[in-house]
Structure 1
Amino acid sequence: MNAGTILYIPVAQAEGGATVTVKGQLYGPTLKLDGTDITTGTAVTIATDSTRYVPLSVEGTGSLYLTGIAIDYAAGSPAATSHTVTVGPNGQYRTIQAALDANDSSETDRLVLKITPGDYREKITVTKPGVTFANADVTAKRAVTIRASYYSSNTFDADGKFVPQDEFDLGTNKCATVTIGAGATGFSAYGITFQNDYNVVDHTAAGEQTPAVALNTQADKVYLKNSRIIGRQDTLYVQGAGNRVYVDGGYIEGTVDFVFGDANAYFAGTELHMAAFAGKNNGYFTAANTKKSGVGLVFDRCNLTVAAAYDDDAKLSLGRPWQTFAQYTQVRKGDGSSYVTGVDLGTKNSAYTDTSSAVTYLDSTMSSKITKNRWNVWTSKNQSGKSVDVTFHDDVRFAEYASHDETGALLDPADYKNVVLGSMSALDEAQVQAKRAELLAALGFGSAAGQWVVPDGAWPFAYDPNYSTGTDVQPTQPGGNASPNADSAAKADTMPETGSAIIAVVVVAVPLLVAGLALVAVRRNRQQ
């Protein structure tokens, strides 16, 4: 949206008002909502005493890269219902994407895919709100595994343009096995495994490790219960400033930056496992590029484990700050490779002025193999091929509270005198509880107006009681032509096209009135 543009957002009359959150990146201008200055990623309270259009104006000079608009009503929203379809060899649909394409959904009439355990070799994009992937085995002892093998070579030409090496080289933004698009608000998954086979099953030799995303969430209010996310580099990508992701239990596996992105993501009781890879003796659990208004990645009562293959000299860190860069000049050579010059650690990089990487660990169990420095700076190569620090240290927000070792003993910050970038604090039980409440409120998980109330943790289908009683519906078109175990190459005709832009507008009805919930989401066609 260029300066001078006005977007009118429909809102419904509702008791208690509502909050509006504009998501995206500002490049110079001032934003006004209903005549009041606002910032991206921050919930703003508006009056809803009548059904009306609320103006969002871009003023001054520059532009807004808009990724979404979310409206949360304090009261008056209709109760959610759901309808269920089955997926599997004997289900209504034989592929997950076919079931998604054939059925409508919304946050007030959710679509539940009841998926028979087995392997589903397909690349999936969810674009509709209110979708649930549910393992038909409610114990989740038998796996539903969605798998594909796409990657990013990070190969560029002399002009910096991405150069795919083959049909499976899609770049970091598009290579995910499952992508939850910006319009798919309220997506949830129960007992599902998301896996990128690249570097896990194939291309496992030393020197072949490269970004290969298993799950990419670009929507708000994403909930993952007892699910597994498997990859190596860049396993879980949580995108979208102001978006909220709740990972309830489950397991995430990777090697480098394997939880990354700029969304607000809360991980409760999740195991984060540093997997081994041939020829590697280093790794990073996280790589956040949080915006300044965001809380970032929060790991609460999580368990950080490390593969036995890593020796005592391994350099394993809690994370490094992606895009919180100091000013430097990048020089690209004729073969597409690049190096940095003129690094000024005292000046923020003008391309990333709003980035302030944030990661917090609370009351979590830490492997003894994690380096005593705890975190890493972000480095790039100079002309001589030497790694140099390019991090703008002042904007990094890394914190560790009440960490303990594998025996349950609290780690003493006094034993960690050379912590890089972050802070390390010992808290008692009351302080941990207070910090947890503080973080949850800041993340937007709570009972206040405009906040997303988190599930109670019960299994199965606790988030929506209608899931277990939803009405089965018949398919409206054939459910695909390949079995769940078919080779991914044979299913190319079922793979969705992931174009450079998706614009989704969702209108939610409230009792006796036509509601307004406008979601405008634009995906940037660029490579990481």
Structure 2
Amino acid sequence: MNSGTILYVPVAKAEGGATITVQGQAYGATLSLDGNAISTGTGTVVATDSVRYVPIAVAGTGSLYLTGIVIDYASDRPAATSHVVTVGPNEQYPTIQAALDANDSSETNRLVLKIAPGDYREKVTVTKPGVTFANADVTAKRAVTIRASYYSSNTFDANGVFVPQDDHDLGTDKCATVTIAAGATGFAAYGITFQNDYNVTDHTAAGEQTPAVALNTKADKVYLKNSRVIGRQDTLYVQGTGNRVYVDGGYVEGTVDFVFGDANAYFTGTQLHMAAFPGKNNGYFTAANTGKAGVGLVFDRCDLTVSPEYGGKAHASLGRPWQTVIATTTHRNADGSSYLESWDASTKDPKYADVSSAVTYLDSTMPDQVPATRWNVWTGKDKNGKSVDVTYHADVRFREIASHAADGTLLDPADYKNIVLGTMENPSADEVAAVRAQLIAKLGFGDGAGLWTVPDGSWPFAYDANYTKPGEPVPGTPTTPGAGQGTGQDSADANGANKADTLPSTGSAVLGVVIAVVVLAVAGIALVLFRRSRRR
């Protein structure tokens, strides 16, 4: 869509208003909805006092690649129901994918997979909305581990086309053990371990580390309750501008960029563990490529840890800014390798004009291995193999607020004079609470129009003694999230860390009420929504 284009979106008369979200990518264009400036991926509330057409206008010198328009009516939110099927060797379905393929679901009639503890060696794709994976052992003392071993070699030919090296080399976007597709809105997981074995249990020699995603989320309203995501490079991929992911407790393990993507993802009470890999002494917790209107990755009261295998030699960076880069020209060799020919530090790469990497650590525990520089820039290599800073610094939004050491001592920003990117702050407790409230509001959690009523954390079915070993504790007995790191043998406690206490109450229903995304047809005009997946 070029400058001067105007779309008229029909809305119905309804109480409480509606939220309209324009999905896509703006390339230099400016957008307005009902006369107000907007950004792609961010919902805007409009009045619905009468049937009318709401204009979306494109202006400026660029263009808009439109992938969808979502309308969410505050008045059209029926309470969710659910139906439960069992998965396991002696259950209704032997595999998770078989259960998904055989059953329909929606956000108002959820499909709950009650999965017996054990290893499920399968590559899983969730395509339908309203799906829940739940450990049948509600104590989560016995793990449900979904595991596979696919990867990306990042091998390209002279034309920059990806060249798979074998049947398991699928590229970063397709190699995940579990993929939550764009249409699988409202996915939830309780006490599940998502693991990519590549570089974890196989291909573990020095020099073999490569992207191998464990969980790839491309949908909105993804909720993980005390679940574990285990890999090495690129463990957890959260995709989709404007999509929301809520990680409630649990554990994420990796080495390089192991939480990455452009979705808005909120982690509370989560352990982020940097594992060791042979031949490596450095790693990066995050690599965000957030859109300018997005909140990015938020880690609230989380615990960052580093493997003791590093000893005192680890360089554990808080993250680096993916795709927030300057304009460069690249030379690609016949073997597919490449190097930087030229670069302009004052000009942003126009392909990523809307990218503004955002990561916030709030009131979180930091390991000693995080360097004084705290973060890293994004780099490329010149013809001689020398690293070049290609970060467009002005658009990086990195914040570290009220960080503390393992003993609880607050880190003093005055002790960190050489922070390479972003800011480090140590505000009062009241100011920390205010920042938390602001972030939660921007993330779109709550009960109003366009907001997501986050599940309250209750397991989606009652305690069942058939799935608990004799002598094991009953629900409510605390365990340690992240126990048995990297083994897939223990999952996080079902009653472990609670989500932020500043969130609005969601009641005590077995399943939280989910927001139904309504595709409206007025006067014979239908809006067909679709998404285009992003590739790394």
Kept after mapping to 2: 8 A contact 1:66/1:522: no
Backbone CA RMSD of aligned residues:
2.5
Aligned length: 481
The residue aligned with 2:256 is 256
Q: Which amino acid aligns with 1:103?
A: N
Q: Take 1:64 and 1:201, find their aligned partners in 2: how far apart are those partners? A: 44
- Per the TM alignment, residue 72 of structure 1 is displaced from its structure 2 partner at its CA by 2.9
Kept after mapping to 2: 8 A contact 1:509/1:515: no
The residue aligned with 1:112 is 112
Kindly indicate whether residue 267 of structure 2 is the aligned counterpart of residue 237 of structure 1. no
Kept after mapping to 1: 8 A contact 2:28/2:353: no
The residue aligned with 2:531 is 521
TM-score by length of 1: 0.86
- Could you report, residue by residue, the CA deviation over 1:81-135 in whole angstroms, capped at 9, with x for unpaired residues? 1111111111111111111111111111111111111111111111111111111
Kept after mapping to 1: 8 A contact 2:32/2:56: yes
Q: Which amino acid aligns with 2:208?
A: E
Which range moved further: 87-96 or 2-11?
A: 2-11
Q: Take 1:37 and 1:430, find their aligned partners in 2: how far apart are those partners? A: 32
Kept after mapping to 1: 8 A contact 2:70/2:519: no
Q: Take 1:115 and 1:68, find their aligned partners in 2: how far apart are those partners? A: 34
- Could you report, residue by residue, the CA deviation over 1:38-97 in whole angstroms, capped at 9, with x for unpaired residues? 320221122334567766566787653344443333234211111111111111111111
1:410 counterpart SS class:
coil
Residues 456/516 of structure 1: CA separation in 2 closer, same or farther (3 Å cut): farther
The residue aligned with 1:453 is 453
The residue aligned with 1:305 is 305
Kept after mapping to 2: 8 A contact 1:153/1:165: yes
Residues 372/30 of structure 1: CA separation in 2 closer, same or farther (3 Å cut): closer
The residue aligned with 1:223 is 223
- Could you report, residue by residue, the CA deviation over 1:238-296 in whole angstroms, capped at 9, with x for unpaired residues? 00111100000000000000000001000000000000001000000000001110010
- Per the TM alignment, residue 326 of structure 1 is displaced from its structure 2 partner at its CA by 1.1
- Could you report, residue by residue, the CA deviation over 1:181-204 in whole angstroms, capped at 9, with x for unpaired residues? 111111110000000010001100
The residue aligned with 1:146 is 146
Residues 442/32 of structure 1: CA separation in 2 closer, same or farther (3 Å cut): closer
Residues 53/126 of structure 1: CA separation in 2 closer, same or farther (3 Å cut): farther
Q: Which amino acid aligns with 2:277?
A: F
The residue aligned with 1:476 is none
- Could you report, residue by residue, the CA deviation over 1:392-441 in whole angstroms, capped at 9, with x for unpaired residues? 11110000011010101111111111111111111222111111101111
1:441 counterpart SS class:
helix
Q: Take 1:94 and 1:517, find their aligned partners in 2: how far apart are those partners? A: 38
Kept after mapping to 2: 8 A contact 1:70/1:518: no
Kept after mapping to 1: 8 A contact 2:71/2:519: no
Residues 115/2 of structure 1: CA separation in 2 closer, same or farther (3 Å cut): farther
Q: Take 1:138 and 1:265, find their aligned partners in 2: how far apart are those partners? A: 25
Q: Which amino acid aligns with 2:329?
A: T
Residues 518/453 of structure 1: CA separation in 2 closer, same or farther (3 Å cut): farther
1:309 counterpart SS class:
helix
Q: Take 1:219 and 1:516, find their aligned partners in 2: how far apart are those partners? A: 22
Q: How does 1:42-441 map to 2 (within 5 A)?
A: 42-49=42-49, 63-441=63-441
Residues 35/436 of structure 1: CA separation in 2 closer, same or farther (3 Å cut): closer
Q: Which runs of 5+ in 1 are unaligned?
A: 462-466, 470-505
- Per the TM alignment, residue 169 of structure 1 is displaced from its structure 2 partner at its CA by 0.6
Kept after mapping to 2: 8 A contact 1:330/1:339: yes
Residues 190/76 of structure 1: CA separation in 2 closer, same or farther (3 Å cut): same
Residues 178/172 of structure 1: CA separation in 2 closer, same or farther (3 Å cut): same
Q: Take 1:58 and 1:424, find their aligned partners in 2: how far apart are those partners? A: 38
2:237 counterpart SS class:
strand
- Could you report, residue by residue, the CA deviation over 1:489-515 in whole angstroms, capped at 9, with x for unpaired residues? xxxxxxxxxxxxxxxxx97599xxx99
- Per the TM alignment, residue 165 of structure 1 is displaced from its structure 2 partner at its CA by 0.5
2:308 counterpart SS class:
coil
Identical positions, percent: 73
- Per the TM alignment, residue 448 of structure 1 is displaced from its structure 2 partner at its CA by 3.9
Residues 91/393 of structure 1: CA separation in 2 closer, same or farther (3 Å cut): same
Q: Which amino acid aligns with 1:382?
A: D
2:98 counterpart SS class:
helix
Residues 57/422 of structure 1: CA separation in 2 closer, same or farther (3 Å cut): closer
Residues 431/55 of structure 1: CA separation in 2 closer, same or farther (3 Å cut): closer
Residues 91/13 of structure 1: CA separation in 2 closer, same or farther (3 Å cut): farther
Q: Take 2:271 and 2:528, find their aligned partners in 1: how far apart are those partners? A: 36
Q: Which runs of 5+ in 2 are unaligned?
A: 464-515
